[in-house]
């Protein structure tokens, strides 16, 4: 019956993580399934819902009326994310409130505590919606369950596990510092940041490209090995297949427009048209099958030469676009400051490289380099993407279980962010790029006549050069070869 305690548990979970959804009209599916504890048939209930500012999930709850076995599980109904995610949370001793941070763990995620050399592999704990404390407590229960049998068979191993369990319990009591690491190649896991949209000094987030091995482990096609490469004749045949038409200026424009939003293609072609579009073989970042990347070089006035790259997969439909700065690495960094005063300023073209940081002093908003990746957009589009990104990673701020001050802080910030686009007050956009690979278009033909746009060059610090890998870069051999040829 749908009025039993298990249904109440599901409803409470859904109401806690999806307060924005009307769960009363969401269909609750019920299927009969085998109980792995007693071998009789139990009931599994499935409910599709959405975690606010995260993504769609399927909540599953099983209950056996014969042995009262019960368990819950979370699986993701959305797409595979373009990149994997790596969360690292520092938990100081005595800060037990940090253990209450909510954690979404997918089936492919690995959890580590380096201080104890402890790792929870993906197969050990299935997808779950829990807290830091809940994840550790669940691991404790899993290690404790067979201790009585171990003591009879291997007392030494059982004693070692008892000592390790005491170390885990000390983490839950706040007696020790430790690091909680959550790594998910699928990009579908999450650790709560209670200070969002401001950065959390204890939480670091990193997104990375999946390796072929990780892609294969997720069940997708990975790049074939050398032994699996097709014959040269097959390669020649494949190179003649152009999914989006012949290579050239017109075809290149069409291909780029297919792979990017219309405003991106229009912003790029506004400055100069590509004379020739080239292709290079690559693999799809989502499914791993062979595809091609189209690219062309062009010059943007008052900026520099850039390389536009776009790819799309005809198998899974994944699309990506990227803009890379061409030419040599500039000797100085660049800081661009724009005073936004009118609607015309919101429509200015913006190129934000993946090495650029973004600041809005009026909101005390700062995005470090690498956040959002490279973007070709407008001022309005950049603020919109920032808002969407914050909503995606913000997590559980609007759930029924959240503190009222957290809800109010996020609501106030969203209101102030929307006020930027409505231009109720003037505001400032600062793009700081150590590689000088970012750009904001001027409103006048001569950039020096644009009084609202300020471009400042500065010397990079040693730390910036170290992060960019410039301190150890040795170009002596290349310079010698260049001088010899001339």
Is-contact 58 47, C-beta < 8 A?
Answer: yes
Q: Kindly state the DSSP code that residue 275 receives in the 8-state scheme.
A: S
Block residue for tokens 């204890």? 202
What is the third-level CATH fold of 84-217? Jelly Rolls (2.60.120)
Q: Does 239 or 155 have the greater pLDDT score? A: 155
Query: Domain 226-325 has what CATH class?
Result: mainly beta
- Please indicate whether the domains covering 5-76 and 226-325 agree at the CATH topology level: yes
Mean pLDDT over each residue of the chain, to the nearest integer: 76
Average pLDDT over residues 399-425: 75
Label the pairing between strands 305-312 and 290-299.
antiparallel
Single out the residue of 103, 83, 81 nearest to residue 91, CA to CA. 103
Range 333-468 classified under CATH 3.30.920.30: no
CB 127, CB 73: distance < 8 Å: yes
Q: What is the pLDDT of residue 408?
A: 77
Taking only the tens place, the pLDDT of each residue in 89-136 is 999 988 888 998 888 888 889 999 999 999 998 888 777 778 899 899
- Nearest-5° Cα angle at 8, 191 to 31: 90
Report pLDDT for 423: 87
Distance (Å, whole) CA 135 – CA 106? 12
Buried b (16+ CB within 10 A) or exposed e, 226-262: eeeeeeeeeeeeeeeeeebeeeeeeebbebbbebbee
Q: What pLDDT score was predicted for residue 400?
A: 54
- Say if residue 232's pLDDT is above 50: no
| CA–CA gap between residue 193 and residue 393 (Å, rounded) | 8
Listed by start position, the domains of the chain span 5-76, 84-217, 226-325, 333-468
Q: Which residue has the tokens 């290149």?
A: 252
CATH of 5-76, one of 2.20.25.420, 2.30.40.10, 2.40.10.10, 3.40.50.720: 2.20.25.420
* Residue 148: pLDDT band with limits 50, 70, 90: confident
Query: Kindly report the CA angle at 100 between 139 and 191, in degrees rounded to 5?
Result: 80
Written as six digits, the tokens of 188 are 């579908």
Question: Chain-centre distance of CA 313, in angstroms?
Answer: 20
Which pTM does this prediction carry? 0.50
């Amino acid at each position: 019956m749908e009025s039993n305690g298990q249904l109440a548990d599901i409803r409470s979970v859904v109401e806690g993580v999806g307060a924005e959804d009307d769960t009363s009209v969401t269909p609750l599916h019920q299927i009969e399934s085998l109980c792995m504890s007693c071998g009789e048939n139990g009931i599994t209930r499935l409910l599709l819902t959405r975690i606010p500012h995260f993504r769609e999930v399927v909540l599953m709850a099983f209950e056996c009326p014969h042995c009262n076995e019960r368990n819950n599980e979370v699986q993701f109904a959305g797409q595979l994310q373009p990149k994997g995610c790596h969360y690292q949370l520092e938990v100081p001793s005595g800060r037990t409130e940090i253990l209450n941070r909510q954690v979404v763990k997918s089936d492919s995620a690995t959890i580590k505590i380096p201080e104890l050399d402890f790792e929870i592999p993906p197969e050990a704990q299935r997808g779950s919606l829990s807290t830091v404390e809940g994840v550790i407590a669940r691991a404790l229960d899993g290690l404790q369950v067979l201790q009585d049998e171990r003591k009879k068979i291997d007392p030494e191993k059982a004693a070692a596990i008892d000592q390790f369990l005491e170390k885990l319990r000390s983490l839950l009591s706040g007696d020790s510092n430790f690091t909680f690491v959550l790594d998910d190649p699928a990009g579908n896991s999450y650790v709560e940041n209670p200070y969002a949209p401001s950065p959390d000094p204890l939480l670091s987030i990193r997104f990375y490209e999946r390796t072929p091995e990780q892609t294969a482990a997720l069940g997708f096609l990975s790049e074939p090995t050398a032994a699996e490469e097709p014959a040269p004749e097959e390669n020649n045949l494949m190179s003649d297949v152009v999914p989006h038409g012949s290579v050239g200026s017109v075809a290149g424009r069409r291909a780029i427009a297919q792979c990017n939003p219309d405003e991106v293609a229009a912003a790029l072609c506004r400055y100069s048209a590509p004379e020739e579009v080239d292709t290079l073989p690559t693999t799809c970042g989502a499914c791993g099958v062979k595809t091609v990347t189209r690219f062309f070089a062009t010059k943007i006035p008052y900026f520099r030469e850039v390389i536009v790259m776009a790819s799309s997969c005809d198998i899974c439909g994944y699309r990506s676009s990227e803009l890379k700065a061409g030419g040599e690495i500039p000797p100085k960094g660049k800081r661009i400051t724009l005073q936004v005063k009118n609607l015309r300023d919101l429509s200015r073209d913006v190129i934000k490289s993946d090495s650029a940081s973004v600041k809005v002093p009026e909101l005390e908003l700062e995005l470090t380099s690498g956040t959002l990746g490279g973007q070709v957009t407008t001022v309005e589009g950049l603020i919109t993407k920032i808002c969407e990104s914050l909503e995606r990673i913000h997590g559980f701020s609007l759930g029924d279980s959240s503190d009222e001050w957290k809800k109010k802080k996020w609501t106030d910030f969203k209101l102030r962010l929307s006020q930027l686009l409505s231009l109720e007050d003037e505001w400032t956009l600062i793009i700081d790029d150590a590689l000088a690979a970012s750009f904001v278009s001027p409103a006048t033909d001569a950039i020096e006549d644009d009084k609202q746009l300020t471009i400042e060059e500065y010397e990079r610090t040693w730390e910036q050069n170290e992060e960019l890998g410039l301190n150890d870069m040795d170009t002596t051999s290349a310079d010698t070869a260049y001088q010899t040829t001339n």
